[in-house]
Structures are given as C-alpha cells and as structure tokens.
Amino acid sequence: MTTKHRDDIPVGRYYGEREITITPELVQHYADAVQDFNPWYFGDSPFGGPVAPALILHSEVYHTIDWYLSIF
C-alpha cells in the first residue's frame, strides 16, 4: 500500500463550476434524508422567508469523487 503525505495533495485545483437551484422539493428531500425538519426551511424565518439548510450542498464537493479518492 502506498501512502501519500499531505504535501503531495494539490491545493487550489480548479474543478469547474456547477449551478444548483435550491428548490422547496430539494430542501424537502434533504430534510427527509437527514430527519432535519427545522421550521425555517419550510416557512417564515427571521430572514423574510424560508432558508436552505446550511449543509444541503456539503456532499456537492464530492460530485467528482474520482479526485477525492485518487489523492490518497
């Protein structure tokens, strides 16, 4: 097994762009998946309407999983 040192991992690599529209359906799907039903996601919030969960796009950083696993 080969082990890479953290200095071997590229920093600042450009992976392109993606545009994602946060819809009520996407928020509902996320909430169902993680069992997070904060009322701010579905109705009024202090920000003047619904807000998206903070981690809704967390997994989006792995959309090109080949780079993620290939660095180790």
Predicted confidence (pLDDT) per residue in 14-40, tens digit: 767 778 899 999 999 999 999 999 999
Taking the model in full, what pTM does it have? 0.64
**pLDDT for position 46:** 97
SS3 31: helix
Structural domain spans, the chain: 19-60
**CB-based contacts of 63: which residues, under 8 Å, 6+ apart?**
18
Measured between alpha carbons, how far is 65 from 54 in angstroms, rounded to an integer?
21
